[in-house]
Amino acid sequence: MQSITEQIKCLIIGSGPAGYTAAIYTARAGMEPVMYTGMNPGGQLTQTTEVENFPGYPEGITGPKMMDDFHKQALRFGTDIRFGHVSAVDFNSYPYEVTIDDEKKINAETIIISTGASAKWLGLESEARYNGFGVSGCAVCDGFFFKGQDVALVGAGDTAAEEATYLSKLVNKVYMLVRRDEFRASKPMIERVLNTPNIEVIFNTETLEVLGDGLNVTGIKTLNNKTGQEMDIPVSGLFVAIGHQPNTGIFKGSLEMDETGYIKTVPGSTATALEGVFCCGDAQDPRYRQAVTAAGTGCMAALDAERFLASRDSSLIHLAAAFTA
């Protein structure tokens, strides 16, 4: 039996700070937004610990609690929040057609893309083999399992610094592997790492292989890229914190992107090359990638979408008036 295509005014794809902010604004503007959360409702912030730099929380707040608050605020104004992911888009006709979970079809008059970004992996075969058996991409989710043990963590940005500090409170020792001779993280984060006695930072070091006994991780093989020396470090866990890539695969071929996959928007707005399709948050932002900037662009996308619908409606009214005159 063929399912009936649902007709909606405004579709929001993704449920991080950008998507929820777009939802709050579009719902208050009477656009009856429908949001599909994706497979990880709340996005990246649900995997973080303390957020200290989001304005309005003087004492800080945990990522999951903050996303719960976003969710409640979007619901309060009537956003239709649904669990599910967009599996295909067809932007060749209007209203745009979107497929949910390979089944349900939706026609949307305007679309706000806020699909965010995901953690990157090293790409080692052994890393994939032991994923979930000692290899993790999220210290907050999995750190608990390594209580009192030794672990390694790869990366040198703010995420890595934050995760190393978080882990240091749970585990015996953190080996932090930095591939260059310097960090990328911000100064306060670096200081926090360097002032934590059970974090040992090892510079100029790459991970060659994850070692294991067939069941669990038992160590890692590293290479000093200055001296060429290889070393085995016995650890029971490896945390990978080397950045993120935008979740924009389903839009490939439909929207303009940069070489990494970030969706291109008109500078100073959230407009994509397609009329009525807007993009906000980390899916279009390789530069700032903050919760607060994501929320800011979510607000912009809502206002851009509202103006798009208003101008389209007024041109239809003019057209109708011309026919009846």
Contact positions vs ligand NDP (CB under 6 A): 53, 122, 154-160, 162, 179-180, 184, 242-244, 289
Nearer to ligand NDP, 18 or 242 (CB): 242
Q: Closest approach of Cβ 192 to ligand NDP, in Å?
A: 11
Q: Using CA atoms, how far apart are residues 136 and 155, in angstroms rounded to an integer?
A: 13
Give the 3-state secondary structure of residue 36.
strand
Nearer to ligand NDP, 156 or 295 (CB): 156
Give the 3-state secondary structure of residue 32.
coil
Q: In this structure, are strands 96-100 and 104-113 parallel, antiparallel, or unpaired? A: antiparallel
Q: How many CB atoms lie within 10 A of CB 56?
A: 8
Q: Using CA atoms, how far apart are residues 312 and 276, in angstroms rounded to an integer?
A: 10
Catalytic residue list: 138, 141-142
Q: Closest approach of Cβ 121 to ligand NDP, in Å?
A: 9
Q: Closest approach of Cβ 77 to ligand NDP, in Å?
A: 28
Q: Closest approach of Cβ 155 to ligand NDP, in Å?
A: 4
Q: Using CA atoms, how far apart are residues 211 and 321, in angstroms rounded to an integer?
A: 73
Give the 3-state secondary structure of residue 311.
helix
Nearer to ligand NDP, 85 or 289 (CB): 289
Q: Which residue's C-beta sits nearest to ligand NDP?
A: 157
Nearer to ligand NDP, 182 or 232 (CB): 182
Nearer to ligand NDP, 71 or 244 (CB): 244
Q: Closest approach of Cβ 94 to ligand NDP, in Å?
A: 35
Element (H, E) at 303: helix 291-324
Residue pair 318/44 in contact (Cβ under 8 Å)? The answer is no
Give me the sign of the Cα torsion angle 3, 4, 5, 8. Answer: negative
Give the 3-state secondary structure of residue 314.
helix
Q: Using CA atoms, how far apart are residues 191 and 52, in angstroms rounded to an integer?
A: 16
